Chain A
């Protein structure tokens, strides 16, 4: 019967879960460092981290899994905030802030969670199918 097809799904969904949890880690880092400026005017603030996925063909199972392509950094400009009393303020009183947008990070986090849960749902559904298969084989 189609046991092999079903058993392969575990490794496929696992790769999806792994990728999404890596993504959530990157987002958490961004959120945690959303206010991390440099100590002095010359020092860069925290630069937003990014993550990209790529699909990978697994010869053994004949399935397309997902992997981390690379962890990078967001190259966009640092926004400036006017705060002359800040230790990292330049001569005009501006502080360079991390290029992290909380709204974007929150949306991304929600998306990552949904994708993660969808992979879990796949494994749950598959588990009932495997159980059914065993029932049939046992009953016979």
Chain B
């Protein structure tokens, strides 16, 4: 049984992907926090909470000759989100740098939280499916 087609799993995996990419952009901002003329970047906002609430789990049964086994493959379709410069930076240093450290640290904590949350939900759903299909855990 292939889990990649179930909408909720796709949501979780897309959320993880988004936040990992965001973490990447934040890391670049932090590394370049003192580079002259460097402008802080970020991904466009994406609210996965809404999408996750709306997602309805569905079961896709594929005929298998040797019984049902659960495979959780990483979702295949991933978006590549574009990192854009912040148009209205809170402050710009005399050397042209627009990275505000406190902001970046706050964003990082959000990314870590959301990523870990999506991962946990992903795990939870897998174990729920395992139980429902009689594999027991």
Question: A66 to B97, alpha carbons, bound, how many Å?
Answer: 13
Tally of contacts, chain A with chain B, CB under 8 A:
122
Taken residue by residue from 7 to 31, chain B's Cβ proximity to chain A (1 for < 8 Å, 0 otherwise) reads as: 0000001001101110110111011
Known: A16-B32, A125-B112. A2 touches B126 (CB 8 A): no
Quick one: closest B residue to A115, CB to CB?
A: B33
* Chain A interface bracket (under 10, 10 to 19, 20 to 34, 35 or more): 35 or more
Given that A8-B24, A52-B36, A132-B115 are known contacts, is A15 also in contact with B31, CB under 8 Å in the complex? Answer: yes
CB A128 to nearest CB in B, in angstroms, measures 6
**Chain B interface category by residue count:** 35 or more
- Contact check: which of A20, A55, A128 meets B116 at CB < 8 Å? A128
Question: Which one, A25-33, A36-44, A116-124, is touching chain B?
Answer: A116-124
Bound-complex Cα distance A137 to B127 (A) = 12
Contacts of A136 in B (CB 8 A): 119, 122-123, 126
- Residues of A near B78 (CB, < 8 A) are 2
The answer to the question of A50 belonging to the interface, with a C-beta cut-off of 8 Å to chain B, is: no
Residue B98, interface by CB 8 Å: no
A46–B112 CA distance with the chains assembled, in angstroms? 46
Write out, one digit per residue, whether chain A residues 1-23 have a CB within 8 A of any chain B CB (1) or not (0). 11001101100110110011001
Query: Given that A114-B101, A132-B115, A136-B122 are known contacts, is A125 also in contact with B33, CB under 8 Å in the complex?
Result: no
Question: In chain A, residues 98-136, which have Cβ atoms closer than 8 Å to a Cβ of chain B?
Answer: 111, 114-115, 118-119, 121-122, 125-126, 128-129, 132-133, 135-136
Contact A122 B115 (CB under 8 A): no
Q: Interface on B for A, CB 8 Å cutoff? A: 13, 16-17, 19-21, 23-24, 26-28, 30-36, 38, 70-72, 74-75, 78, 101, 104-105, 108-109, 111-112, 115-116, 119-120, 122-123, 126-127
With contacts A111-B34, A129-B112 known, what are 9 further pairs, Cβ within 8 A? A1-B17, A1-B20, A5-B21, A54-B36, A63-B27, A115-B101, A122-B23, A125-B109, A132-B115
